[in-house]
């Protein structure tokens, strides 16, 4: 066309030959301007989604870092309390063992005296009387020593172990609740920061809401959004939708992914506190016979009879001496046997106390997901099963405007950000150095996410395996519900053909409908778990 006008411009010598050129150029410029504006709008939306994802992830990661630092500090306090308890209880065990040794020595001396009295026989019954009295004294000392050990020391240990174990358990429950509340706060704060940086506030109108405004119009105003923003709860997936003055639809969606803080690794004692208490209770029964005092009294009477065993009193005193001496010697023999048994039992109790004391030493690490740990004595929190990551995904969708010759369109924009809050912190040994930092975004790329194969991969594979097991169970349940619905529908068909009671037919129809709904709910839950599996695999691509 341009060549035509150029070749014929002198032939016709007419004005306005440049008009078509200017028209074409103006149209091109307008199209370029519209395209530029459209691309600028898309870029602006992308910037908002990226800012929202980064801000939300960093905010949530900061809260989670504080939560884990708080757990590490609490674990440090638990460890200090444990070692204080262990030191105090060990001192009590030492006292108990010392009393047992003292009791054993007294029993040994008592047995030695009783054996000497028994060896003196009836001929030396008067000497045996003193030795038997000495044996009775040593027996009483041993009895008092062991009784003090039982009543004062062993009961103190039992009370101390029981009280500490119960108090530590409830302290642990408070830490679990604190961690779970912190995780919920992290979700809420991440949502708030994501929406704060999503650019919604700049796109909404200001002003009073008219009384006659409908629900959609009410969403157009910033005050409504601010009220909604203030009421954001601990919800992981939130969408805010509104319409502008030209009745165009818009929405911003955010999803915060933080693993639950519900599985703790706990350092516990070698033996549960119930086993320690049972050892202390059942293993501290020592039998001590109180026969030496009675034997001493009998032998004293025998000694008196021996002194008059002669002369005219011999027929009376000599049989008395022999009978009382025989009874006294028998009582001595029984007392010696009982005390030897007591010495053996003291040695057994001594070993039992050592086992009970060793049972309070730090032992295995137990994984707890339910909080039902009252049976164990908790020393401290070893770790928390968690990937130490916060992921925030944001989406924005804005309906374009119809400009007559031009229809603007803006595709849904998605951004994500992953924050690792491990820092240089740890639960045990306690290091309050958890700190949040961005490790991946949709711009950086997930291939650059630092992955610890010894920490992240076992966690990720275990989580995926668990969810796959739940999906299998849900699929089986859905099939069973479908089968139940089919059976009910077949029964319903037969009942309808037979023209049975309508009430019965309605009841069966309702049951079939409920079975179908249950099957659909199971499939939806399975689909949600499959989405979570995809998220975990995309976060840890090197682990699968």
Task: State whether residue 389 is helix, strand or coil.
Answer: strand
Cα torsion angle, 268, 271, 274, 280, sign: negative
pLDDT of the residue at 217: 52
pTM greater than 0.85 (yes/no)? no
Residue 208: how many other CB atoms lie within 10 Å: 8
Closest by Cα among 170, 166, 169, 161 to 360: 161
Tens digit of pLDDT per residue, the chain (544 long)? 445 445 555 454 555 556 665 555 555 555 555 544 444 566 778 888 889 999 999 999 999 999 999 999 999 999 999 999 999 999 999 998 888 888 888 888 888 888 888 888 777 778 878 887 888 888 888 888 887 788 788 888 999 999 999 999 999 999 999 999 999 999 999 999 999 998 887 777 544 455 555 555 544 566 777 778 888 888 888 998 877 767 778 889 999 989 889 899 999 999 999 999 988 887 665 666 677 778 888 878 878 777 777 666 666 677 787 888 888 888 888 888 888 888 888 888 888 899 999 999 999 999 998 899 999 999 999 999 888 889 998 989 887 766 555 566 677 788 888 899 988 999 999 999 999 998 888 765 444 455 555 556 776 777 788 778 878 888 888 888 888 888 888 887 877 777 777 777 778 888 888 888 888 888 887 887 787 787 777 767 767 7
Distance separating alpha carbons of residues 52 and 369, to the nearest angstrom: 33
CA dist list (Å): 263 to 97, 170, 181, 366, 497: 40, 16, 14, 10, 56
Q: In what order do the strands lie in the sheet with 264-269?
A: 362-368, 264-269, 378-384
pLDDT of the residue at 521: 81
In 190-287, the DSSP E strands lie at: 237-243, 249-258, 264-269
Domain locations in the chain as residue ranges: 35-448, 456-543
Cα torsion angle, 148, 152, 158, 161, sign: negative
Distance separating alpha carbons of residues 450 and 276, to the nearest angstrom: 46
Distance separating alpha carbons of residues 222 and 205, to the nearest angstrom: 6
Cα torsion angle, 525, 531, 535, 540, sign: positive
């Amino acid at each position: 066309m341009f060549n035509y006008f150029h070749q014929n411009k002198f032939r016709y010598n007419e004005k306005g030959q440049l008009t078509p050129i200017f028209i074409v150029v103006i149209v091109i410029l307008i199209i370029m301007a519209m395209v530029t504006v459209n691309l600028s709008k898309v870029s602006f939306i992308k910037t908002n989604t990226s800012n929202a994802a980064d801000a939300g992830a960093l905010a949530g990661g900061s809260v989670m870092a504080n939560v884990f630092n708080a757990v590490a500090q609490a674990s440090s306090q638990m460890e200090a309390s444990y070692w204080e308890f262990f030191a105090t209880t060990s001192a009590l065990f030492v006292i108990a063992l010392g009393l047992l040794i003292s009791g054993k020595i007294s029993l040994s001396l008592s047995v030695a005296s009783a054996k000497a009295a028994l060896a003196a026989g009836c001929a030396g019954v008067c000497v045996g009387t003193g030795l038997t009295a000495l044996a009775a004294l040593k027996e009483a000392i041993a009895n008092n020593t062991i009784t003090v050990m039982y009543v004062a020391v062993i009961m103190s240990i039992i009370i101390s172990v029981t009280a500490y174990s119960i108090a530590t358990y409830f302290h642990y429950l408070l830490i679990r609740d604190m961690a779970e509340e912190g995780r919920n706060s992290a979700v809420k704060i991440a949502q708030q920061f994501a929406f704060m940086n999503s650019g919604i506030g700049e796109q909404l109108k200001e002003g009073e809401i008219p009384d006659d405004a409908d629900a959609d119009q009410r969403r157009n105003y910033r005050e409504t959004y601010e009220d909604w923003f203030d009421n954001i709860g601990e919800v992981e997936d939130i969408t805010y939708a509104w319409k502008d003055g030209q009745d165009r639809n818009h929405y911003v969606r955010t999803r915060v992914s933080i693993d639950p803080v519900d599985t703790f690794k706990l350092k516990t004692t070698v033996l549960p506190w119930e086993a320690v208490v049972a050892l202390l209770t059942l293993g501290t029964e020592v039998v001590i016979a109180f026969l030496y005092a009675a034997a001493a009294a009998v032998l004293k009477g025998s000694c008196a009879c021996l002194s008059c065993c002669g002369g005219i009193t011999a027929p009376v005193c000599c049989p008395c001496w022999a009978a009382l001496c025989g009874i006294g010697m028998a009582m001595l023999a029984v007392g010696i046997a009982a005390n030897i048994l007591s010495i053996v039992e003291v040695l057994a109790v001594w070993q039992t106390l050592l086992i009970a004391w060793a049972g309070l030493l730090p032992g295995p690490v137990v994984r707890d997901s339910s909080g039902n740990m009252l049976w164990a004595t908790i020393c401290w929190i070893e770790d928390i099963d968690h990937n130490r990551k916060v992921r925030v995904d944001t989406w924005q969708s804005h309906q374009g405007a119809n400009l007559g010759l031009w229809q603007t369109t803006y595709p849904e924009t998605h951004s994500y950000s992953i924050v690792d809050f491990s820092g240089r912190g740890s639960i045990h040994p306690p290091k309050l150095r958890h700190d949040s930092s961005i490790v991946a975004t949709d711009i950086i790329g997930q291939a650059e996410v630092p992955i610890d194969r010894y920490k992240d991969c076992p966690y990720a594979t275990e989580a995926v395996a668990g969810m796959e097991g739940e999906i299998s169970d849900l699929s089986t349940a859905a099939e069973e519900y479908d089968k139940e619905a089919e059976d009910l529908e077949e029964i319903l068909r037969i009942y309808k053909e037979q023209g049975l009671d309508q009430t019965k037919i309605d009841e069966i129809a309702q049951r079939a409908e409920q079975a179908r709904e249950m099957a659909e709910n199971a499939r939806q839950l399975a689909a949600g778990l499959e989405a979570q599996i995809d998220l975990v695999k995309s976060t840890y691509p090197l682990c699968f």
